[in-house]
Structure 1
């Protein structure tokens, strides 16, 4: 060897810092071809080719060997880029009042495999988290996939940097439960590769929707959603979750929307959390909740199947008005360029979109002149996908380093 670097090696070294940005562009669908990748990265075609080849060698993306052009386009055909379907996965888990679900999620937000919803979340976080990790490890073994990390979505505000669940009201867990510490210990004990990360379920839903769903392209994205119980919110600014100084920003569930309303678990009354969640809808419709399926499914099914019933329609209008009041206040404070709604709120929007938009416009300072778009979330399991995004983020930041640390 004469010590001289080959042209390909030189290009790769120049573009090595672009590996993460390039992977994120393919991951979020913003670089479907090598030509787009070249333009987005602001590098030469040769450097972009070297970067794409390295990501392909790492098993993260696929570069089509036969360049093609879109119908009617002009110019030189470009190689198509896509995430590697047989590449590594993140293990994702979501805990809610009715149990938990685990899934394997690849790049691109693609759910590779899921296990059925399990059990009821008991009051012991260590027991529940142990069962979550056990189910996830079994799913990984069954698929034989390489794992880059593990992410967990929890229906509670997660304080940073400690990773404690401050208000897991609907799980009956003790306030301040050290969820991240327990989860990481269970993951290590199971011998799973990669970091173990945790976050609030609606925050993670918003992150997933921003990268892969209804929030794609928004600069200031507000997400409001019901879980199986309660209401949560999240804000994504320029592609990053805004979590505040200690992870506790946007506790929208405790906005007062009915001063004379129902008592809330937080000690107040008339909060969005108890005025616009699945239990509130069933109660307003005069329907007793049953134990067979989750409250979210019961309320969504009722809204879809019996909207013509005056009691159901009246309950829907009541919740839409409460939700609209809360959204208007958030619009006044945050000035988002897009609002997306999940859970039961997605169904309420579908049932009467004009009513909800009218309430927000009437109550917000800029509603009549600006008209903030209000859209439905489009990912069916967005909190799970968001939990996987947590685990994928170190790989997006540093593909070579993260895969070497996780044994890839």
Structure 2
């Protein structure tokens, strides 16, 4: 830790000892502020299990790094007694991560600060080329332009893709709803594009629903959950993710929770995986539009068409029947997952969030009726709350080295 951050935080004679003692607490402290769990120095002291002086030194060092702001004179709430604790806030002008998302109907770039806050977004593109290098280069160029416009320091970059991503290679094994070749080295291509654009920091790639779950767990509807199941359908297909003990669970090679290929209708539509009646083709936007007797139009994305149909025309008997059919299929799939995983919370994103809003009691009843754990008291089923959770999750990949070791990570940014 740098010595120039300490004066004013603790007494001069003990500054170095306290800073050295707090060096290992920098990352955990930053994560507590990043996730909103330490709004004051008093809470930070308690959560870290350190002395007040050490917590003060840690907070001062994080402020010197440009990551947080310490308000030493916050206003006291009406009727309170004693001096209020120093408030800890994320620096509004601090570093950012470059986040990118690619999906079947386009791609987008954004800059995301600590706390999951979107600082700037580039206009989205609505066509995805069959060459992943061309797409990733375009999205990185859009991000680089945002960095030039804002003048922000960048800690790294992350991209969310609609495919299982094998670890540690970072290859997209099955980009089923893109024209990309199976096994495309997405992380390698993305990292090269980032370097060519002159952007500093490491580059990462991961599955879009995994990243949505990570973002929701840290900043959204999953906050406070220990074992969190996320299921979502975006523009095409269905994905799932699992957070166990506060950590994203991706399995031995990054391929865990391919929930889209659970069979929920044995006589249903053929699936890309070779099976039939999978969630991927029975509970996504195209499946809903088909069930509602609507021909998909080319003017807006399938997800937008499906969401608008439910929100604006739910009274239509055909639309309501289609909602009930998809709710039943989704509920059957969720019940099977509950029996296997026993999560303490389920969150739903994309069209599934809209289905939950339309008929929450039906979905919860299907899950409870078909699952052992559901019958024992039920599992909370909530809607995702972050509008751009995959983008925020992509940024979390880039922020993780900073959360692990702020000084080392920022030295290379």
TM bracket, shorter-chain basis: over 0.9
Match of 1:181 among 188, 195, 199: 188
1:265 aligns with 2:276: no
8 Å Cα contact 1:220-1:338 kept in structure 2: yes
Show the counterpart of 2:47: 40
Shift of 1:74: 4.6
Match of 2:159 among 131, 152, 159: 152
Show the counterpart of 2:126: 119
Q: What is the RMSD of the two structures over their aligned residues, measured on CA atoms? A: 1.0
Match of 1:396 among 400, 403, 412: 403
Where does 1:95-106 land on structure 2 (aligned, <5 Å)? 95-106=102-113
Shift of 1:117: 1.1
Match of 2:245 among 238, 251, 264: 238
Match of 2:176 among 169, 192, 214: 169
Q: Counterparts of 1:74 and 1:205 in 2: how far apart (Å)?
A: 41
Where does 1:322-401 land on structure 2 (aligned, <5 Å)? 322-401=329-408
Show the counterpart of 1:141: 148
Shift of 1:76: 4.0
Show the counterpart of 2:263: 256
Show the counterpart of 2:9: none
Shift of 1:72: 4.7
Q: Counterparts of 1:97 and 1:194 in 2: how far apart (Å)?
A: 28
Q: Counterparts of 1:73 and 1:127 in 2: how far apart (Å)?
A: 59
Shift of 1:370: 2.3
| SS of 2:300 mapped into structure 1 | coil
1:224 aligns with 2:234: no
Q: More deviation in 38-47 or 363-372? A: 363-372
TM-score, normalization: structure 1?
Answer: 0.97
1:290 aligns with 2:297: yes
Q: Counterparts of 1:74 and 1:24 in 2: how far apart (Å)?
A: 29
1:131 aligns with 2:138: yes
Q: Counterparts of 1:119 and 1:349 in 2: how far apart (Å)?
A: 27
Shift of 1:11: 0.9
8 Å Cα contact 1:89-1:105 kept in structure 2: yes
Show the counterpart of 2:7: none
Deviations 1:70-106 (A, max 9, x none): 4454554200101000000001000001110111000
8 Å Cα contact 1:221-1:237 kept in structure 2: yes
Shift of 1:122: 1.3
TM-score, normalization: structure 2?
Answer: 0.96
Deviations 1:92-128 (A, max 9, x none): 0000011101110000000011112113111111111
Q: Counterparts of 1:359 and 1:74 in 2: how far apart (Å)?
A: 51
Q: Which runs of 5+ in 1 are unaligned?
A: none
